[in-house]
Amino acid sequence: MPDDAPPSLRPPAPAPDPADPLDAVVARRWSRRDVLRLAGAGAAASWVWACGGGGRGAEAGSPLRTKSPDHRVADGYAAQVVVRWGDPVTPGAPAFAPAALTADAQARQFGFNNDFLAFLPLPKGSASSDHGLLCVNHEYTTRADMLPPADLSRPAAELVALEQAAHGHSVLEVTRAGGTWTVVAASPWARRIDARTTRIRVAGPAAGHPRLRTTADPTGTEVVGTLNDCSGGVTPWGTVLLGEENVDGYFSGTLADDAERDNHRRMGIPAKGARPWAAADPRFDLGREPHEPNRFGWVVEVDPYDAASVPVKRTALGRFKHEAATTVLAPDGRVVVYSGDDEAMQCVYRYVSRGRYDPLDPASAEDLLDDGTLSVGRFDDDGTLHWLPLVHGAGPLTSTAGFASQADVLIEARRAAALLGATPMDRPEDVEANPATGRVYVALTKNKDRTQTDAANPRAPNPYGHVLELIPPPDAHGRPDPTADAYTWEVFLRAGNPARPTDGAAYGAAATADGWLACPDNVAFDPRGRLWIATDGADDYGVPDGVYVTDVAGPGRAAPQMVYACPVGAELCGPCFTPDGTTLFVSVQHPGEGSPYGAPSTRWPDFTPNVPPRPSVVAIRRTDGTQV
């Protein structure tokens, strides 16, 4: 919910007393029952070998907890760099040449700042864990991290084209032999999707709407490129969903259409410090193309098994800053998609398809993401989560409020959510369902600007983040029903250092002294049902970002242990497993961030003079070959 929403639209929450200690606020919001329940309720193949302590993860005192130019893994694990920024992807792609970067080369090479990962077995429909497609998002670019200072004065058209080519998505064929992963050269599945040339079809209620029409696309049905693809998801029919997140950072200029002013402002457009793309590409100049921003902020569906397929923007899933598009198949065959709107004081969303998926009829998936109901979450203090439908004509979502159609509701999903009274959250990022239990876990990374608390966001401010556990009710047969109108919810853990009482952190009883984390971002489940949590921002609190594992039930519930630590300046994202659970793929994004190009804080993963640090995908495995 926007910070300037009228007070009548904000969920009721008492303002904290500035003189009130944080731990007192937390105590009021957390009953003894809550605490007890939390504590005990049910290409380039370089290897890094074990360091640190403990078999499942790092014990207290592990060197994993200190910053380092190199990445590191816990005892009993090994980590391999599988693919790096600039490595060849499509047939005929040139080798990485950091002193001579071009858009044409980058369009065929692995993009910058890899994020979401998905492993899809080959052949399609199999459970292979040794051969598959690795699908990778490329979220954003930073010129100063990509180019030497002398190159920053190149013509604007060259720089913009290079950055656009480094965005998007890569599809790679990979194989495993003897524990080592290799990218298959000249694969028929190899593909780059970018922000420069890739044509994407628009589908769903907003397709063709006048607010999506531009000079280049007067039909409003085809967009060139995808922007800021952060996390995503995998569908039951073998496609991947890419969530367009911080799309505000690409648009500048003076808005020519007053009718879009409030809509764009809610998305942060025009953004302060936006990339200067408008200087070379009129699409990103608000004065020339005021509707172009409405063409971004959607979920994009890609078929990695068909390199000639056209990606599709699925507008029924709503327009906001998507982090994740996690897909769950309900017992009755309907498809459920969870997303977080990754900004402070924004909301959690759920989409439920009208139709049903039949695995024996591939055609049944064709329109499932175009016809359904998008809802937004209201987290009540009594532990109930209500899903509020964003349906034109229902409640306040009428023409009186400026919504002439369902397309308007979806284009302005943030405004619709605010009008419905949805709960503003502490940067909702990944939303993942446990395939064993149906419970859903929401990573709330942090919110330093929060001033009012509620039960689902119990700290103000909240610089450390927390994880919620959402519990769908059973259906008539006792199976979790993700389509239900109401769930219950609990706080799974509150991040921060429990040794500092003012952090207000809370973990399970089995947590160790160094078993704490900060800023949970992406989460994933392994085949055993354990939760893996990647962090983004822990570097601010003296520990490197990395990935942690914890049980979700039993004595080890909410007791994270660190398994992998990023090199300095990097965040971890995109964790995903092979079907057999013996490889965990992770994305290491922006290593060396914040340091000068010529003297970076790390040159990971190459450690070669004059080669800048390179965002990369890493494969983590147990040295004994068992499940990670």
Cα 465 to chain centroid distance, Å, stands at 15
What b/e readout covers 208-228, taking b as 16+ CB neighbours within 10 angstroms?
ebebbbbeebeebbbbbbbbb
What pLDDT does residue 256 have?
Answer: 82
Per DSSP, what are the bridge partners of residue 327?
337
The answer to whether residues 162 and 106 touch, using CB atoms and an 8 Å cutoff, is yes
Return the percentage of the chain with pLDDT > 90, whole number: 89
CA-to-CA dists, residue 460 to 25, 451, 540, angstroms: 9, 5, 18
**Residue 494, burial from CB neighbour count under 10 angstroms (0-12, 13-18, 19+):** buried
**DSSP state at residue 1:** -
pLDDT of residue 41: 34
DSSP, residue by residue, 207-268: TT-GGG--SS-TTS-EEE----EEEEEE-TTS-EEEEE--GGGG-BS--S-GGGHHHHHHTT
| 155-171 per-position pLDDT tens digit | 999 999 999 999 999 99
Angle at CA 320, nearest 5°, toward 319 and 322? 105
pLDDT of residue 509: 96
Mean pLDDT for the stretch of residues 390-399: 98
Give the separation between CA 84 and CA 98, rounded to whole angstroms: 12
Q: Taking CA 295 as the corner, what is the angle to CA 145 and CA 284, rounded to the nearest 5 degrees?
A: 50
CA atoms within 13 A of residue 355's CA, in its CB half-sphere: 12
pLDDT of residue 48: 58
Question: What number is the average pLDDT over the span 319-342?
Answer: 98
> What pLDDT, on the 0 to 100 scale, is given for residue 21?
33
Q: What backbone torsions phi and psi does residue 366 show, to the nearest 5 degrees?
A: -55, -45
Contact 248, 267 (CB under 8 A): yes
Tell me the pLDDT tens digit for each residue of 417-463.
Answer: 999 999 999 999 999 999 999 999 999 999 999 999 999 999 999 99
Residue 275 amino acid letter: R
CB-based contacts of 20, cutoff 8 Å, min separation 6: none
How far apart are alpha carbons 442 and 492 in whole angstroms? 9
State which amino acid sits at residue 318. Answer: G
The answer on pLDDT for 35 being more than 50 is no
Query: CA nearest 100: which of 156, 157, 147, 161?
Result: 147
**Rounded to an integer, what distance in angstroms lies between the CA atom of residue 364 and that of residue 306?**
18
Mean pLDDT of the 471-498 span: 98
Instruction: State the average pLDDT over residues 320-325.
Output: 97
> Which pLDDT band holds residue 257 (cuts at 50, 70, 90)?
confident
435 neighbors 525 (Cβ within 8 angstroms) = yes
Region 133-152: mean pLDDT is 97
Lowest mean pLDDT among 59-63, 234-238, 616-620: 59-63
**CA-to-CA dists, residue 88 to 85, 238, 286, 535, 627, angstroms:** 9, 24, 35, 28, 30
CB-CB contact of 539 with 572 (8 Å)? no
pTM: 0.92
Name the band, by pLDDT with cuts 50, 70 and 90, for residue 62: confident
Chain segment 170-208, per-residue pLDDT in tens: 999 999 999 999 999 999 999 999 999 999 999 999 999
Which pLDDT belongs to residue 18? 30
What's the distance, Cα to Cα, between the start and end of the chain in Å?
39
- What confidence tier does 591 reach under pLDDT thresholds 50, 70, 90? very high
- 8-state DSSP, 138: E
**Range of weakest confidence among 2-11, 169-178, 205-214, 405-414:** 2-11
Say what the pLDDT of residue 63 is: 85
pLDDT at 26: 34
Q: What is the mean pLDDT of residues 47-64?
A: 52
CB 87 within 8 A of CB 183: yes
Which of 132, 139, 130 has the alpha carbon at shortest distance from 111? 139
Query: Which H/E stretch holds residue 420?
Result: helix 413-420
Nearest in space to 44 (alpha carbons), one of 144, 147, 145, 172: 172
Comparing C-alpha atoms, which of 385, 394, 398, 400 is closest to residue 469? 385
β-pairing verdict for 312-314 and 199-203: parallel
Closest C-alpha to 202, from 327, 369, 334: 369
Distance CA 628, CA 42 (A): 23
Question: Which 8-state DSSP code applies to residue 567?
Answer: P
> Average pLDDT, stretch 468-473?
98
Assign 191 to helix, strand or coil. strand
Burial of 40 (0-12, 13-18, 19+ CB in 10 A): middle
- Of the two residues 478 and 52, the one the predictor is more confident about is 478
Task: For residues 269 and 255, give the distance between their C-alpha atoms in angstroms, rounded to a whole number.
Answer: 9
The pLDDT tens digits for 530-567 are: 999 999 999 999 999 999 999 999 999 999 999 999 99
Given pLDDT bands bounded at 50, 70 and 90, which one contains residue 145? very high
Query: Sign (positive/negative) of CA torsion 215, 220, 222, 224?
Result: positive
Cβ neighbors of 604 (< 8 A, separation 6 or more) are 69, 70, 71, 567, 570, 588, 591, 592, 613, 614, 616
User: Do the bridges between strand 229-234 and strand 440-444 make them parallel or antiparallel, or are there none, so unpaired?
Assistant: unpaired
Q: Is the pLDDT of residue 17 over 60?
A: no
Residue 93 gets which letter from DSSP? P
Which of the four pLDDT bands, split at 50, 70 and 90, describes residue 61?
A: low
Confidence of residue 412 (pLDDT cuts 50, 70, 90): very high
Q: How far apart are CA 524 and CA 533, in angstroms?
A: 7
How many alpha carbons fall within 13 Å on the CB side of residue 611?
16
> Nearest 5°: phi and psi at 261?
-60, -50
Tokens describing residue 610: 């004059």
76-91 confidence digits (pLDDT tens): 999 999 999 999 999 9
